[in-house]
Amino acid sequence: MTDSAKANDLLAQLPKGKGPAPVHLWNPDFCGDIDMRIARDGTWFYQGTPIGRKPMVKLFSNIIRRDGDDYFLVTPVEKVRITVDDAPFVAVTLDVQGQGESQLLHFTTNVDEQIEAGPEHPLRVVIDPDTQEPAPYLRVRTNLEALVHRNAFYQLVELAVSRPINGQNWLGVWSGGVFFPIGLEP
């Protein structure tokens, strides 16, 4: 089957409800790789060409699943592997409500999914060992994350407060009653 036929077949199988499909419940046979890639900036590509229709990207984003280090588009009858450069989503905006320990951080992803950081949707920051550049992530769904866009991360840095953890002072943010460290205090 060609990549075009695979893509059309996947589209025909997409659930029509709102929100992510229950891909964690589906265990179809692996049907191979498809020439689809999600770039680090959240752009979806099909056969090397950006998918310009946001509704199409949103449809595909509802059936993505991560198994181990691989990403798949999954329907009840088909599972195809795709390439993800970093994270399948990007948290593009941040809305802050409240302050201190009662603060709530509401993120919106590039596919218009609303996520509130908290126990089920933790924030984490990975420091590149070579460049020391931080890469912040927000869990969107089971083992799927959004890279937090630089502008939203700068907002987090401005909101950061100090808190001792294991004998060291960390800068971090509160959301949903959880303190999320974003870096050691200088």
Q: HSE on the CB side for 139, CA within 13 Å?
A: 12
Last residue of a domain, one of 33, 63, 84: 84
Contact present, 37 and 84 (Cβ < 8 Å): yes
Instruction: Verify that 71 and 93 share a domain, yes or no.
Output: no
Quote the pLDDT of residue 173.
97
* Structure confidence by residue, pLDDT tens digits, 154-177: 999 999 999 999 999 999 999 999
H or E segment to which residue 4 belongs: helix 3-13
What CATH number does the domain containing 102 carry?
2.30.270.10
Segments forming the whole domain that contains residue 61: 3-84
Please, which pLDDT band fits residue 132 given cuts at 50, 70 and 90?
Answer: confident
Inform me whether the pLDDT recorded for 36 exceeds 90.
yes
* Structure confidence by residue, pLDDT tens digits, 92-128: 999 999 999 999 999 999 999 999 999 999 999 998 8
Quote the pLDDT of residue 23.
87
The number of folded domains in the chain is 2
Inform me whether the pLDDT recorded for 16 exceeds 60.
no
Distance separating alpha carbons of residues 37 and 14, to the nearest angstrom: 19
